[in-house]
């Protein structure tokens, strides 16, 4: 989290690790000293902060201006491509967290997508059956 490295960021951060993770815990003062003396650390931090800000703004734009079904179609297509599989192995809760919505919304969308024949689902997975339909809904055809 960038919050621990920037003095001006003053909010609590909670992080859930979904797999085994190595974590380096530092404070803003130690990071500032390191970045002042090491240009590579400073560049890495700025690049990472820029990417995270861009990702956050993209998610905000989706939440504010796209319907839930369109956002879900985009999410499924992105996850499928990231995993190089037609099967997305995530729970409803995980999908909701990634999308920034409620689990109930994801459950309703999965039911709708299944009824349309675009997906099939079971416990802990969702299979894309009609990628072209999802692309049309997502606006990426």
Closest CA relative to residue 89, chosen from 131, 121, 132, 135: 121
Domain residue extents for the chain? 2-60, 66-138
CATH for the stretch 66-138: 1.10.10.10
- Is pLDDT at 59 greater than 80 in this prediction? no
Cβ count near 68 (within 10 Å): 17
Look over the chain and give the mean of its residue pLDDT values, rounded to a whole number.
87
pTM of this structure: 0.62
């Amino acid at each position: 989290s960038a919050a621990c490295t920037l003095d001006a960021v003053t909010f609590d951060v909670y992080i859930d690790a979904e797999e085994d993770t190595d974590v380096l815990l530092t404070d803003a003062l130690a990071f500032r000293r390191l970045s002042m003396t090491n240009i590579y650390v400073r560049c890495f931090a700025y690049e990472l902060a820029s990417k995270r800000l861009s990702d956050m703004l993209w998610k905000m734009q989706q939440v504010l201006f796209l319907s839930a079904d369109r956002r879900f179609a985009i999410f499924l297509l992105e996850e499928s491509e990231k995993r190089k599989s037609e099967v997305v192995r995530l729970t409803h809760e995980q999908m909701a967290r990634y999308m920034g919505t409620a689990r109930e919304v994801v459950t309703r969308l999965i039911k709708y997508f299944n009824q349309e024949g675009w997906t099939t689902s079971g416990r802990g997975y969702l299979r894309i059956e009609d990628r072209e339909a999802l692309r049309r809904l997502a606006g990426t055809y």
